[in-house]
Amino acid sequence: MTREEILRMSASEVEARANELAKESETATAERLAEISLELDAIEERKKALEIRKRAAEAVAKGAGQPIGQPTPKVEKRSIKEVRDSQEYIEAFAKYIRTNKDMECRALLTANVENLGDNSGPVPVPTFIEERIRQAWEKDEIWSRVRKVFVPGNHQVGFEVSATDAAWHEEGAAAPTEEKIILGIITMVPKNIKKWITVSDEVLALGANDLLTYLYDEMTYKIIKFASQQVMAQIDAAPAASSSVAVGVPVATFTGTNPTTADIITAKAQLKGDVDDVVIVCSRETEAAIKVAALGAGFAYDPFDGSTVVHFDFPANTTTKMVIGDLGAVLANLPEGDTITFKYDDVSLAEKDLVKIVGRMMAAIAVTEPGALVKVQPA
């Protein structure tokens, strides 16, 4: 039975259908149990609606409401930010996290927000959580520099692999050679970045503000840290030269244990001329070795040639010691927006009084701008 059919039922029909499903669930398959669960959700929603209608009728019978012909008091509408700021919405959102049911959040938005528009997408987080997420984004030195778009589904980005130059044309001379442009296309397919934790019933009993702060701080830190690692992994895995399906990141080599200032200057020479925000991504160990070498040389100069140093520990399975360039050459597509969504499971670990909460962010990450980055590796 569909949700729409259930939402048109009378109280007696709802009760009868609930009894039928309870009996059927005793022998149902896993697939059928999933369908029964959806029907039961709709039945619960219908029961609540019927109860509200019953209470309203009783209130009218006792003299509540406005007589016909008199103007109905106008409900004051608020901005969506004002609603998301309210403690009422924070409590409703915390309940949504605990139960995976967002009806209260949507009801508050529909009843209170003027010109809300489509209310079928993901419910927005309270503003204080959005601000904490934004701070986490800005605090991460790699993720904050990556360009971001919010395109639903797969996203294709075109780039120029190669092109011939323009030329002089003398009057009356033969026409110049036609320009040849080779274009490439990167197809960005989003995947979920996930982090899950188990929390005790005591944690879930926290107040709404404390619970949301705890969950979002923990999940956001871990997920953004992983996203930054994937940014560097995409740069490290990029071919040295561009192809029709991938942007190339050239390699500059050095001799010895660590790169020197001269190696940094040489590597920068491989960047195209219009690259602006040039940073040097390396570990603290590499940074320290370069600084020590500069001190030993006895010269008062910036060993990093005026570039900001961003710290990152390259994994042991790569030879890359340093990445130089503009991290804006990397694009992240976030189809579901720049927040973390949650799934809640209070069944699988119920015997231990633990609840599993899964946080996820859907993303696709790729290098999309040629000539803006260079890898520094030992020769």
The strand pair at 322-325 and 373-378 is best described as antiparallel
Task: Count up the domains in the chain and report the number.
Answer: 2
Q: Is residue 137 part of a domain?
A: no
Convert the pLDDT of each residue in 301-360 to its tens digit.
789 989 999 999 999 999 999 999 999 999 999 998 877 887 877 777 777 778 788 888
Convert the pLDDT of each residue in 63-84 to its tens digit.
666 555 555 555 567 788 888 8
Q: Is residue 235 part of a domain?
A: yes
Q: 48, 70, 92 — which closes off a domain? A: 70
List the domain range (segments joined by +) for residue 154: 148-170+177-379
- The pLDDT score that the predictor gives to residue 214 is 83
Q: Is residue 93 part of a domain?
A: no
Same domain for 200 and 345, yes or no, is yes
Same domain for 222 and 309, yes or no, is yes
Q: 19, 49, 70 — which closes off a domain? A: 70
Same domain for 45 and 155, yes or no, is no
Q: Is residue 227 part of a domain?
A: yes
Below-70 pLDDT ranges, the chain: 60-76, 114-121, 162-165, 178-179, 299
Q: Is residue 81 part of a domain?
A: no
- The pLDDT score that the predictor gives to residue 376 is 97
Q: What predicted TM-score, i.e. pTM, was given to this entire model?
A: 0.67
Same domain for 341 and 242, yes or no, is yes
